[in-house]
């Protein structure tokens, strides 16, 4: 287990990050960046833009969503979007955040 940092940023910042790292010229609600390092140290960063996030998705959900990406899940290649949503809901229920 290691540390994950969570950064809350403005629309302009997440737009630039999304363009630089994903080639998508638009803002997004959450991005995840894995960091390779020794066991027990920083494993990743989750960047959240509350201004882009839907009113239905709270910060807790976005953190879990980002953490699932850090763990290797996606929605489109290896996992169906519904599979990721199901895991996300289960994690939120387990930690008491709804879902």
**Residue 67: C-alpha distances to residues 6, 9, 25, 90 (Å):** 10, 17, 23, 13
75 is in an annotated binding site: yes
65 is in an annotated binding site: yes
Do the Cβ atoms of 89 and 71 come closer than 8 Å?
no
15 in a labelled binding site: no
Known binding positions for Zn(2+): 65, 69, 75
Binding-site positions read 65, 69, 75
């Amino acid at each position: 287990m290691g540390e994950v940092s969570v950064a809350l940023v403005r629309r302009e910042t997440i737009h630039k990050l999304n363009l630089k790292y994903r080639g998508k010229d638009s803002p997004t609600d959450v991005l995840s960046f894995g960091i390779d390092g020794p066991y027990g140290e920083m494993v990743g960063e989750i960047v959240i833009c509350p201004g882009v996030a839907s009113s239905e998705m709270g910060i807790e959900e976005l953190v879990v969503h980002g953490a699932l990406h850090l763990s290797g899940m996606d929605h489109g290649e290896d996992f169906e979007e519904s599979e990721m949503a199901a895991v996300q809901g289960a994690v939120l229920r387990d930690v008491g955040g709804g879902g």
